[in-house]
């Protein structure tokens, strides 16, 4: 259920987020989108509350070529990153 957010949300945090925002039976959590949304919201909150700073610090510590190679991989593999970059560069 936590999926891609496992580094940002603990099982207990996910359970609490679901229980506080999804009024359905726990057996329906697996199939419902509301539970996934609650976990994503918690992950977003945790990310913006400090986890993103850890990544920014790590980027600051990267060698320029390493950062450039990483950015190229993101643009190549992640549609959202490419579209955001195209938009910010006036390419769309």
Average pLDDT per 10 consecutive residues for the chain, totaling 92 residues? 91 91 72 85 94 93 96 94 91 74
pLDDT at 2: 87
Is residue 34 within 8 Å of 42, Cβ to Cβ?
no
Burial class (CB in 10 A: 0-12, 13-18, 19+), 72: exposed
pTM of the entire predicted model = 0.70
């Amino acid at each position: 259920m936590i999926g891609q957010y496992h580094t940002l949300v603990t099982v207990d945090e996910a359970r609490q987020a679901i229980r506080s925002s999804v009024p359905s039976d726990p057996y329906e959590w697996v199939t419902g989108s509301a539970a996934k949304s609650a976990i994503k919201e918690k992950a977003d909150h945790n990310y913006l509350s400090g986890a993103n700073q850890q990544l920014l610090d790590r980027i600051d510590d990267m060698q320029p070529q390493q950062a450039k190679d990483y950015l190229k991989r993101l643009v190549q593999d992640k549609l959202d990153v490419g579209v955001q970059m195209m938009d910010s560069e006036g390419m769309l």
